[in-house]
Amino acid sequence: MLIFCPSCGNVLIVEEGQRCYRFACNTCPYVHNINRKVTSRKYPKLKEVDDVLGGSAAWENVDSTVETCPKCDHRRAYFMQIQTRSADEPMTTFYKCCNLQCGHRWRD
């Protein structure tokens, strides 16, 4: 937190006085004793993260195939293929378990 001098407008520094800490100006004789704890916290607003796969709407119109879920051993899974790396690399296949109670997601 920056506090400015009311006389000249420069930034005040904190220095140790005779009995307490105080704000002091480097360019003029302004001094203000600190009588209480001075704190201020400001938390930055976090950016919202976009779902790379398009969120839940991306799984609405996909096909299913015979693929065993590694979590619940259900034998069918929805799948979609997306190019995640350069064009000369193979596409990445993403799966979502067809079992409504499971819904586990994995990739191949």
Report the binding-site residues.
5, 8, 25, 28, 69, 72, 97, 102
Best CA proximity match to 59, nearest among 90, 91, 92, 98: 98
Q: Is 79 exposed, middle or buried (0-12, 13-18, 19+ CB in 10 A)?
A: middle
CA distances from residue 89 to 37, 64, 83 in whole angstroms, order as listed: 59, 24, 8
Collapsing DSSP to helix, strand or coil, 35 comes out as coil
Distance (Å, whole) CA 95 – CA 104: 8
Binding residues for Zn(2+): 5, 8, 25, 28, 69, 72, 97, 102
Q: What are phi and psi for residue 71, nearest 5 degrees?
A: -95, -45
